Amino acid sequence: MAEVVRNIQVKLNVPESRHSDVDQTFEEFRQAAQHVADYGWSDDPDHLIKAKNKLHKATYTEVREKTNLQASLVQSARNLAADALSNCKDLLEDDKNTSKPEFRGTVIVYNGRTITYNDDHVTLATTGDRVTAEYVLPHDDEDTPFEEYWNEDDWEKKEATLHKRDGEYYLHVAIEKEVEPVTDEQTENGVVLGVDLNVDGYVAVTSTGVYLGNADELNHKRDEYERRRGNLEQTGTRSAHLTIQSIGDKLAEWSRHRLHDVSNGIVREAVENDCTHIAFERLTWIWTRISNASKFQQWAFREVQRQVEYKAEEHGIEVETVAPQYTSQRCSHGECGFTHEDNRDSDEFECLKCGKELHADYNAARNVAWRLVQNWLKSGSGRATSQLALKSGTVNANGDFNASA
């Protein structure tokens, strides 16, 4: 079995009478981590100490004497410092500049011995007695990580870090799920779902003919925000600045919600068609085809791919990218493959050679999937039986169509 890990941030309602205990624990945890970092640090990578066992032997007793932290929290502080020292050692060995880790923020790392999760609250170890803090969950958790992971039995809550921002306490929880890894047989006989991303019309179109998301709606919301921001910037007041930040946050939240609908649809289509891979156009190349894509649209493309990658992982589906050249101009019908810029006219595609008519974005999505299969064949990866997921079936690299059962 393979492990998939997600991170969820949940706000905590810490009783005001216990704030001092939690805040004192922040400070003593910081001191403990700093003590370990001070001991292990050297600007010479040969003398810098990153091994946890060596750091433990050298610092554990003194930290226990100087703080009120229980043993498990001392070990967590040591691990935090050891990880920071390890990063420093890697940089120094690569002849890159770095400096001794300095712990200034408010953070406590909790493990199974120092945190207990309950249905509506959590208990946390502190320098005093344990603190009981209720979760502050969203009123509507539809299409949020809380709906997907928080109360699902197959996701297990593991290590967490506690943070304090603007007087509020937030717990960042790592949740874990075991999934079946992709087998060698599945990899060798992969079925690819191709995805075409767009700045107009639909956000994404799959090689199975599914159209997802309204790109025009996203762009319209962004344009509205830009107009309001421009007017507020001319005002120049502090209130106007706060309003800009507020409406910007709301736009980002609204946009991510819409893009989650898109990514969920892509992964759902891959699962329903027994796909082992999802193929996207490579974003570093895609801007040569969509030269008028705004920064917002580029962000949306990256966000869709990011979401699909972590959601597909839960189903053992891999995500790969291909070069996008000519995917919008090539005919994807059968063995045709005729490529010409006049094949496409806006959202219509009609092959000048074979006469096949398709929606242009659907044709491009088929080509994206086809390109990944061709890459496999050219690389000699052994995936000779790999196929493209299309409407009502699959087609192999030779153009042979297999209808769905």
CA end-to-end span of the chain, whole Å? 30
Task: Give the pair of three-digit tokens for residue 156.
Answer: 């297990």
pLDDT computed for residue 35 by the predictor: 96
Which has the higher per-residue pLDDT, 150 or 39? Answer: 39
CB atoms within 10 A of CB 173: 22
Q: Per-residue pLDDT averaged across 298-305, rounded?
A: 90
Q: Are strands 318-322 and 277-281 parallel, antiparallel or unpaired?
A: parallel
- Length of the chain measured in residues: 405
The partner residues of 340 in beta bridges, in order of sequence, read: none
Top mean-pLDDT range of 132-141, 209-218, 284-293, 294-303: 209-218
Q: What is the pTM of this model?
A: 0.64
Q: Per-residue pLDDT averaged across 256-269, rounded?
A: 91
Q: Per-residue pLDDT averaged across 374-394, rounded?
A: 68
pLDDT computed for residue 396 by the predictor: 61
pLDDT computed for residue 39 by the predictor: 96
Amino acid at 13: N
The partner residues of 319 in beta bridges, in order of sequence, read: 278
pLDDT computed for residue 183 by the predictor: 53
Whether pLDDT at 222 is above 70? yes
pLDDT computed for residue 377 by the predictor: 76
Which has the higher per-residue pLDDT, 189 or 83? Answer: 83
Distance CA 374, CA 286 (A): 19
Whether pLDDT at 227 is above 50? yes
Whether pLDDT at 180 is above 60? yes
Distance CA 81, CA 34 (A): 7
Whether pLDDT at 111 is above 70? yes
Whether pLDDT at 236 is above 90? no
3-state SS string for the chain: CEEEEEEEEEEEECCHHHHHHHHHHHHHHHHHHHHHHHHHCCCCCCCCCCCHHHHHHHHHHHHHHHCCCCHHHHHHHHHHHHHHHHHHHHHHHCCCCCCCCCCCCCEEEECCCCEEECCCEEEECCCCCCEEEEEECCCCCCCCHHHHHHCCCCCEEEEEEEEEECCEEEEEEEEEEEECCCCHHHHHCCEEEEEEECCCCEEEEECCCCEEEEHHHHHHHHHHHHHHHHHHHHHCCHHHHHHHHHHHHHHHHHHHHHHHHHHHHHHHHHHHCCCCEEEEECHHHHHHHCCCCCHHHHHHHHHHHHHHHHHHHCCCCEEEEECCCCCCCECCCCCCCCECHHHEECCEEECCCCCCEEEHHHHHHHHHHHHHHHHHHHHCCCCCCCEEEECCEEEECCCCEEECC
Whether pLDDT at 38 is above 90? yes
Unique residue bearing structure tokens 């969509």: 290
CB atoms within 10 A of CB 255: 19
Residues sharing a CB contact under 8 Å with residue 398, sequence separation 6 or more, in sequence order: 335
The partner residues of 123 in beta bridges, in order of sequence, read: 116, 132
Tens of pLDDT, residue by residue over 150-162, are 877 788 899 999 9
Top mean-pLDDT range of 147-151, 263-267, 345-349: 263-267
**Residue 399 region by backbone torsions, left for phi larger than 0, else alpha for psi between -120 and 50, else beta:** left
Average pLDDT, the chain: 86
pLDDT computed for residue 347 by the predictor: 83
Top mean-pLDDT range of 37-41, 359-363, 368-372: 37-41
pLDDT computed for residue 203 by the predictor: 92
Tens of pLDDT, residue by residue over 197-219, are 987 889 999 999 999 999 899 98
pLDDT computed for residue 305 by the predictor: 93
What percentage of residues in the chain have a pLDDT greater than 90?
43
Q: Exposed e or buried b for every residue in 203-238, given b needs 16+ CB within 10 A?
A: bbbbbbbbbbbebeebbebbeebeeebeebeeeeee
pLDDT computed for residue 242 by the predictor: 87
Sorting pLDDT into bands at 50, 70 and 90, what band is 7?
confident
Q: Are strands 357-359 and 387-390 parallel, antiparallel or unpaired?
A: unpaired
* Residue in 353, 338, 322, 339 with CA at minimum distance from that of residue 207: 322
Sorting pLDDT into bands at 50, 70 and 90, what band is 405?
very low
pLDDT computed for residue 210 by the predictor: 92
Q: Per-residue pLDDT averaged across 263-276, rounded?
A: 91
pLDDT computed for residue 108 by the predictor: 96
Distance CA 376, CA 290 (A): 26
pLDDT computed for residue 378 by the predictor: 75
Q: 259 to each of 121, 137, 145, 265, 341, how far by Cα in Å?
A: 31, 22, 14, 10, 30
